[in-house]
């Protein structure tokens, strides 16, 4: 059956999948430097494989302490970087961290 002029031909599903959005290729003329910095400070995902029993115990302890597992992991990473003298772009000023 031939598609009519008002109905486009159906394309295979594979051809209709959009590529992931690459924010680095967005128009630089409409983005200020402040907006560019804000985009660079968005979060990224880190996948960690862990024993299920340790994960359960960790999540339970976090819940008891009213913190999220993500908050604890971020703090551990900050402390590890500091311990090894590694600096990074949005690092808080030294001596102002909470312990």
pLDDT in tens, 30-89: 556 666 566 556 789 999 999 999 999 999 999 999 999 999 999 999 999 999 999 988
Q: 58: closest CA among 74, 72, 46, 44?
A: 72
Q: 43: closest CA among 71, 15, 65?
A: 71
Whole-Å CA distances, 32 to 38, 41, 91: 10, 15, 22
Residue pair 9/3 in contact by the 8 Å Cβ criterion: yes
In whole angstroms, what is the distance from residue 39 CA to residue 20 CA?
16
pTM score of the predicted model: 0.53
What are the pLDDT digits (tens) for 73-89?
999 999 999 999 999 88
Residue 28: predicted pLDDT: 47
């Amino acid at each position: 059956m031939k598609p009519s002029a008002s109905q486009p031909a159906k394309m295979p599903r594979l051809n209709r999948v959009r590529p992931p959005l690459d924010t680095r290729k967005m128009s630089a003329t409409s983005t200020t430097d402040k907006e560019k910095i804000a985009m660079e400070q968005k979060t990224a995902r880190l996948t960690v494989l862990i024993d299920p029993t340790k994960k359960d115990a960790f999540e339970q302890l976090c819940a008891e302490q009213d913190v999220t597992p993500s908050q604890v992991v971020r703090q551990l990473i900050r402390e590890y970087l500091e311990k090894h003298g590694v600096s990074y772009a949005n690092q808080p000023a030294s001596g102002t961290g909470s312990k």
